[in-house]
Amino acid sequence: MTAMYPPVLGYGDIDMESFESYYSRWPADLASIPRPIVEQWIHRHWSCFRDRWVSLQPHTWSYRLAAMTSAQVLAIDHVGKWIEELDAEGVEYVTGAPRSRTPLAQKMLARGTFAEPIIVTEGAGHVTCPRSGEQRMKVPLQLIEGHTRLAIIRGMINSGHPNLAAEHLVWLVRIPGG
């Protein structure tokens, strides 16, 4: 099943293939996956994508970029105790802890929103979440990609951060079969 998704050459090495090189090899039959998702998720997190997500056939999903309010972002869920853990992590991003000094945190704290849209499923309760011990995805919304970014934005929302934007762009995904 991974044969249809080209591997990222040199993934994990200092000489990892650039996104431009990778995308030049991207097959036409995978064109349903938006370029930003190929870059942010598949290319950047190749081994995780290959090992956990390819079997769910992301090329069959529908994708749309949508604006969400902060209240809607807080409704994004995750199996297990991920949201509790992201909330604990999120506090560190907004209280001056070392995490708040990372380039990603600095960018998001200044902009008040995601550096790149996160990927979220809607209505995917019929799908088993990878690496979850056979748990079904949460409904109505389940985070797929962007755990750190969601932690930062949740920290900003929960603390009433002064730079918080009114809306946040996310990729909403529909997985067939439900």
One digit per residue, pLDDT tens: the chain, 178 residues? 444 999 999 999 999 999 999 999 999 999 999 999 999 999 999 999 999 999 999 999 999 999 999 999 999 999 999 999 999 999 999 999 999 999 999 999 999 999 999 999 999 999 999 978 889 999 999 999 999 999 999 999 999 999 999 999 999 999 998 6
Copy the structure tokens of residue 101.
């000094």
Give per-residue burial for 83-94: e unless 16+ CB within 10 Å, then b. beebbebbbbbb
What is the pTM (predicted TM-score) of this model? Answer: 0.94
Q: Which of 6, 66, 60, 71 is nearest to 32 (CA)?
A: 60
Phi first, then psi: give them for residue 67, nearest 5 degrees. Answer: -95, 135
DSSP helix, strand, coil percent of the chain (3-state; round to 5): 45, 15, 40
Neighbours of 168 (CB within 10 A): 24
Copy the structure tokens of residue 140.
């109505």
Please give the pLDDT value at position 2. 47
What is the C-alpha separation between 23 and 149, in angstroms, rounded? Answer: 24
- The tokens 């000094």 sit on which residue? 101
- Phi-psi label, residue 30: left if phi above 0, alpha if psi -120 to 50, beta otherwise: alpha
